[in-house]
């Protein structure tokens, strides 16, 4: 202990802030990764939907429903992760 307890407390708070900055950077990286995964997933869903509609136009409504449900399920799972 020094004769300046306030300075020690300030230094402790500074260290905690640095730790929080590092933690926040990790969270931002995870969010960026999830965003990239979502974009890839959306592209995949669009591709599958397009191929299915090209193969059989009468299944258009079912493919749309399935794609929406799939996107909702994945979105819900990612929401729980965050």
User: Digits of tens for pLDDT over the chain (82 positions)?
Assistant: 557 788 899 999 999 999 999 999 999 998 888 888 888 888 888 887 777 767 665 666 777 778 777 877 877 777 776 6
> How many angstroms separate the CA atoms of 41 and 71, rounded?
8
Domain segments of the chain as ranges: 44-82
Whether this model's pTM surpasses 0.75: no
d(CA 25, CA 43): 27
- Contact call for residues 20 and 13 (beta carbons, < 8 A): no
- Cα–Cα distance for residue pair 28/51, rounded to 1 Å: 35
* Alpha carbon distance 75, 73 (integer Å): 5
What is the Cα–Cα distance from 31 to 9, expressed in whole angstroms?
Answer: 33
């Amino acid at each position: 202990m020094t004769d300046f307890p306030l300075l020690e407390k300030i230094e402790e708070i500074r260290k905690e802030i640095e730790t929080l900055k590092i933690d926040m950077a990790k969270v931002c990286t995870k969010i960026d990764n999830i965003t990239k995964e979502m974009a890839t997933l959306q592209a995949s869903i669009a591709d599958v939907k397009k191929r299915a509609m090209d193969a059989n136009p009468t299944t258009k409504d079912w493919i749309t429903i399935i794609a929406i449900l799939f996107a909702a399920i994945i979105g819900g799972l990612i929401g729980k992760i965050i």
